Every structure is written in C-alpha cells, then in structure tokens.
Amino acid sequence: MYKQMSLSSKTIPQVSIIIINFREPELTLECIKMLIANTPQSHETILIDNGSLKSSFDILAKGLKKMKSVFVRVHKNSKNLGYAKANNQGARISRGSILVFINNDVVVTSDWLTPLLRFLDQNPTVAACQPKFHSLGEPKYFDYAGGAGGFIDMFGYPFTRGRIFDSVEEDVGQYDTTSPIIWAAGSCLVMRKKAFWEMGGFDEYFFAYGEETDLCLRLIEGGYSIAVVPASCVFHLGAYTSNKNLPEKIYLIHRNHLYLVFKHYSLWPYFPILIFRVLMDIGALIYYIKRRQIAFIGSVWKAYATFVRQVPQLVQNGVITIRGRNLMKIPYIYRGSIVVDYFLLRRRHFSELYGKTSYTNVKSYQDVTHTYIL
C-alpha cells in the first residue's frame, strides 16, 4: 500500500531518493532529516518499509508527518523482500530521471549530491557513480563497504580503494581522483534511471549483498562505465542491520558471490576458475571450523546446498551457460586473487595491487581509455 506522508508536489523531480527501512524507524528518520538539510536539488523521497512491526512503523509514520517541508512517498511491504526487490519497487514508482539508492544508516554532508549530478550530466556514457565513503564511527577512515570505489578480482571477490578485507586505510587524500571503477556501493548509488531499466534493474535473486556489483558489471558489459566522485563524501554507519544476524549475512554473501561468478563466467573455458573459487570457499569453511564458529559453518554449507539445488533452474533461466561469458573482459578487473595477495603475500593496500600510480596507467589495462570531463 502507498501512503503519502506529507505535502505533495506537482513539480516532477529531477532526482528520486529511495530508502529501505527494516524495523529501524529512528535511524531512517535521522537519515531523511539529513537529506532534507543537505540536498538542495529538486527531489522526492521514496521510502520502502520491508515488513516492520506495526509499533515500529507507527513511529516512522508519526516522524514523517512532522516533516512538513518534504514530500515522502511510502510503500509498506508485509514482509522483508530484501534490498534488491524493495529498491526495484521504489524505482518503478519513481518520477525522477536520476535514481539515488541510499541506506538508512548513511549520513550525507552539505550539498553532497551536486558533484555527483554534475558529473553524470557532463559524462553521458557513465551510468552510475558513488561518493567517497567515510566510516561514521571512525571519520578519518574509509568505510568498509564503499571506500573510494569498488573493484573485483577474477574470482569474484570484491574490494575497494581504501579497504581490502579487514584492512581499512586512513583517508589522507590518496584516492581523491575521480576515476572509473568496477562497481559503486549500494549504500549510496546514484544512477540514470534509463540505464537502470535497460539492464532490468537489480537481480532479485541476490536478495541482499552483491546485487549492486552484478548490476554494475552488466552496465559495463552493456557499454556504460561506472565512476567514483570523491568531491562528494558521505558517512556510513555500516552493517547496522546485517550484523544483527551474522549467520544469515554469511549465508547470503557465500551464496550470492557463487551465483555472481557463475552468472558472469561461462562453463567453458572458465570451469577451472569456477572450481578454484569453490576451493577458496572451502578454505573459508576450514577457517570457520578452526575458530569453532559453528553457525558460520552452517551458513556456508547452506549456501552451497541452496545453490546446487537451484542449478537446474539457473540453467533453464540462462543464468548458467556453456559458452560466451568472460568476467575478465571487464575493464580494470584485478587479474589475480585478492585472497592470495592478502593472506599469503600480505598486500593490504590498493596501491600494492595496481601500483602506486593511477591504476588506469597499469600496462595490462592500457587498451582501455576513459575520458571524463571534470
């Protein structure tokens, strides 16, 4: 059901900001307040509630009614449909030509949106971009989830400029260049609606985790590019909801990343890469066993059992194919194993992977050119 919670607007907004709420009314209200204070552009706010209890939703509704200066459209789901499906819902009812998917635990800064919109306006081949993310808890450091732009290795493991696994860098201006990236973080993802629907939106199989990486890969495969615009900076609390149920998070991460690599590699001739990815997940399983993290062991087992059970359907739907797909065709993909580099070679910084110069100048990627108007 849709509920208009405040003053309507006859003006068609340029931007539609989409927020998902899952039983966190106070956090969501604070996020919207900061958006009101720091977003001068014409915009609408679309709030998708993913199955909050009545008492929780009532707090949200009362808070929104007090915000008389903002137009908020609310859709309440009877259950938690996940990040991907809920954001697709918001995109379907949006009126703006630019979509902003933002987590409710993100705190925006003064005029944060202007550099991102200007960049998209001046670079028509860029489908999506993200700001630089700082940790709300440790403001001098990059945020774990978004950093200064997302990358991926040839085995499907994601990392960012500023964070590789648990090693998070202090921001001293080392990644302040506006640059092409492989994926933009879903915590604050600014995207052209036309490009979003050209790709069919978020793949709802993911539910949560990895869907923005998949979407960005499809956009790049479709001829678009993705960028980070560090002139805009936001703060992210990070994993506020997901860390309340870590076993479910571990399950989704392992299942979704397995799905991601099978979706973007064909079985031939890339079956060895897929097998190596499975072996690395077995390594993660051994790690959990050594630490006696029984719940996480069950999560990995459940992830593989679920994926294997769904293989016939994935083949039928064309997700798993014999030939024709190669993730390594993606520009700037890291043609190595981030797992090996991090745990065996002790490489902790982005510059140790792509070199201290701009990664766009690394020899193996010289055939790829990106010209951005700044």
Q: What is the pLDDT of residues 164-201, one digit of tens each?
A: 999 999 999 999 999 999 999 999 999 999 999 999 99
Q: What is the per-residue pLDDT for 238?
A: 77
Q: Which CATH architecture has domain 1-103?
A: Alpha-Beta Complex (3.90)
* pLDDT tops 80 at residue 99: yes
Instruction: Provide the pLDDT for residue 71.
Output: 76
For residue 272, how many other CB atoms are within 10 A of its CB? Answer: 8
- Average pLDDT across the chain, whole number: 90
Identify which of 357, 356, 350 has the alpha carbon closest to the alpha carbon of residue 334. Answer: 350
d(CA 128, CA 220): 10
Please give the share of the chain, as a percent, with pLDDT higher than 90.
84
**Residue 369 to residues 119, 123, 180, 207: CA-CA distances in angstroms?**
17, 14, 10, 34
Whether 112 shows a pLDDT value over 70: the answer reads yes
* Helix extents (H) in the chain: 25-38, 54-65, 82-93, 113-122, 193-198, 211-221, 246-264, 267-290, 294-316, 338-343, 350-354
Higher pLDDT, 372 or 162: 162
Rounded average pLDDT over 202-225: 97
pLDDT at 331: 87
Q: What does the pLDDT read at residue 41?
A: 85
Output the DSSP codes for 164-200. ETTEE-B-SSTT-S-EEESB--TTEEEEEHHHHHHTT
Residue 101 has which token pair? 């998917």
- Report which of 280, 287, 256 is spatially closest to residue 186, judged by C-alpha positions: 256
**DSSP letter, residue 321:** -
pLDDT tens digits, 249-260? 999 999 999 999
pLDDT tens track for 281-334: 999 999 999 999 999 999 999 999 999 999 999 999 999 999 999 999 998 899
Give the pLDDT band of residue 134 (cuts 50, 70, 90): very high
Per-residue pLDDT at 324: 94
Domain ranges in the chain are: 1-103, 243-333
CA distance 110 to 35: 9
Residue 157 has pLDDT above 80, yes or no: yes
Helix 25-38 × helix 54-65 angle, to 10°: 20
* Number of Cβ atoms within 10 Å of the Cβ of 69: 7
* The pLDDT of residue 365: 27
Q: How many residues does the chain have?
A: 374
116-119 contact pairs (CB < 8 A, 24+): 116/190, 116/229, 116/232, 117/14, 117/15, 117/41, 117/190, 119/178, 119/227, 119/229, 119/372, 119/374
Quote the pLDDT of residue 70: 65
The answer to whether 148 touches 236, Cβ cutoff 8 Å, is no
The predicted pLDDT at position 280 comes to 93
pLDDT at 47: 97
